[in-house]
Amino acid sequence: MKKIMVLNGPNLNLLGTREPAQYGYETLADVEVMCRSMAAQYGLEVDFRQSNHEGDLIDAIHQSGKEVAAGESLGVVFNPGAYTHTSIALHDAIKGADVPVIEVHISNVHAREAFRHHSYISPVASGILVGLGVQGYVLGIQALAHKRGLAKLD
């Protein structure tokens, strides 16, 4: 069975308790349930991960790139958190691994502080979902399935 990696960056382990007015009350465990449910509708498995460490995220992207090349994975739904705005290394990992990535942000980063308006990930992402709450993850899974010919978007 093919899979999709759902990858979460720093501080997303605090989802549901960290700034709920900004990020909502759903926990990361809630997001995982939503993602698994959506992926199952396409006959896909989910490799769900979170790390506060940039190197771990890079290693996961490299792994997913290998799995995509082997026909085992469709790509990554990725919320890089604050690394969005700082990590050239994650940009290079996505580009180097040649892995399809849907960049997801729970909040509308463009309506927030100016430093959040720039993304190092966006130029190498296949698509970007911003400001749709945790529903962005579900839409990211649908987008990868659509891009890989497994689904039609209505």
Residue 73 known to bind ligand: no
* Residue among 152, 103, 100 nearest 132 (CA): 103
Residue 114 and residue 111: Cα distance in Å, rounded? 8
Residues with Cβ within 8 Å of residue 11, at least 6 apart in sequence: 18, 52, 81, 82
* Residue among 14, 73, 6 nearest 34 (CA): 6
Residue 117 and residue 40: Cα distance in Å, rounded? 34
Residue 4 known to bind ligand: no
Residue 117 known to bind ligand: no
Residue 107 known to bind ligand: yes
Residue 121 known to bind ligand: no
Residue 116 known to bind ligand: yes
Which residues have a catalytic role annotated?
Answer: 23, 105
Cβ-contact 9, 120 below 8 angstroms: no
Cα separation values, 151 from 74, 84, 99, 146, Å: 12, 28, 19, 5
Known binding positions: 79, 85, 92, 106-107, 116
Known binding positions for substrate: 79, 85, 92, 106-107, 116
